[in-house]
């Protein structure tokens, strides 16, 4: 499964990830005077849905339906507000990725650092963050770069969202998480994964282990019967702030209940 950010921008999995990331940022800000956010696979920061996303049509079944919905729960409405902000003329042409969503909510002493292994994508990231002086984007292997950053300085919230195109992405994600926690035991680490088959996901969770508390939030739009199609996704939050279970349940319940098909499911549980 090819998971280019631009191809899948604004799909149901983005809604789950970004609504929860927004909440996690605010939760960490409530705990600390300054917050440092690091992002291993930042992407371009802002996506034009009239580009690659047209071919996948996933945004039509994701953010487009979000913006047409009424009576949104608060944490979903918070994401809808961000989407409106990047579409001042109405419609849903543009969709903000994690870097821009976070940058919009950084306080003067907060910091965001995002990485992307593609030089071209990193250039787009730099441009997307140009108006945010305490947010930066750089090219590089995000796994290695974020681990180096956490070793050298603070890390309050770490986002890990690889494309899962390489066979070792799951293992590198788990191993990088554990390595970060060795030097920053109190860091909150938010990991996004596709749900392609439960055997792969369960293996990832076993590798991650249970040494640190973790919330697992799953959304399945349909039964997991085709491992080549993303029928679901999960967010694993290690060292979750108080209230994470409830926040994830609100987000996952709305996405599955509103965008799902027969056999849809949402579940939030602890490792």
Tell whether 141 is in a known binding site: yes
- Going by DSSP bridges, is the β-strand pair 265-270/214-220 parallel, antiparallel, or unpaired? antiparallel
C-beta neighbour count of 213 within 10 angstroms: 12
Active-site annotation, residues: 161
Sheet containing 157-160, strands listed edge to edge, beginning at the edge strand earlier in sequence = 135-139, 111-116, 36-39, 157-160, 188-195, 232-238, 214-220, 265-270
3-state secondary structure 232-243: EEEEEEECCCCC
Tell whether 98 is in a known binding site: yes
> Which residues partner with 94 through β-bridges?
48
Residue 126 CA to residue 199 CA, distance in Å, equals: 37
Tell whether 116 is in a known binding site: yes
Q: Residue 106's closest CA among 159, 46, 29?
A: 29
Tell whether 104 is in a known binding site: no
Q: What kind and span of H or E run contains 182?
A: helix 169-183
Tell whether 197 is in a known binding site: no
In the annotated binding site for S-adenosyl-L-methionine, the residues are 18, 41, 98, 116, 141-142, 161
In the annotated binding site, the residues are 18, 41, 98, 116, 141-142, 161
């Amino acid at each position: 499964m090819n998971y280019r950010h631009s191809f899948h921008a604004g799909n149901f999995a983005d809604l789950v990830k970004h609504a929860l990331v927004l909440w996690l940022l605010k939760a960490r800000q409530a705990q600390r005077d300054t917050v440092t956010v690091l992002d291993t696979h930042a992407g371009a920061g802002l996506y034009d849905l009239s580009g690659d996303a047209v071919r996948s049509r996933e945004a039509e079944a994701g953010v487009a339906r979000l913006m047409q919905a009424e009576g949104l729960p608060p944490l979903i409405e918070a994401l809808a507000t961000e989407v409106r902000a990047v579409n001042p003329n109405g419609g849903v042409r543009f969709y903000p990725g994690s870097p821009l969503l976070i940058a919009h909510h950084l306080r003067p002493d907060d910091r965001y650092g995002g990485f992307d292994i593609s030089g071209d994508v990193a250039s787009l990231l730099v441009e997307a963050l140009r108006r945010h002086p305490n947010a930066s984007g750089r090219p590089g292997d995000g796994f290695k770069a974020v681990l180096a950053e956490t070793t050298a300085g603070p890390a309050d919230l770490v986002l890990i969202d690889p494309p899962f195109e390489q066979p070792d992405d799951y293992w590198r994600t788990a191993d990088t998480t554990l390595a970060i926690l060795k030097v920053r035991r109190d860091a909150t680490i938010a990991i996004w994964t596709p749900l392609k088959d439960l055997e792969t996901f369960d293996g990832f969770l076993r590798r991650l282990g249970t040494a640190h508390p973790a919330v697992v939030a799953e959304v399945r739009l349909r039964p997991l019967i085709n491992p080549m199609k993303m029928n679901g996704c999960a967010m694993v939050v290690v060292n979750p702030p108080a209230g994470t279970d409830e926040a994830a349940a609100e987000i996952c319940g709305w996405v599955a209940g509103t965008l799902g098909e027969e056999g849809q499911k949402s579940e939030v549980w602890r490792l």
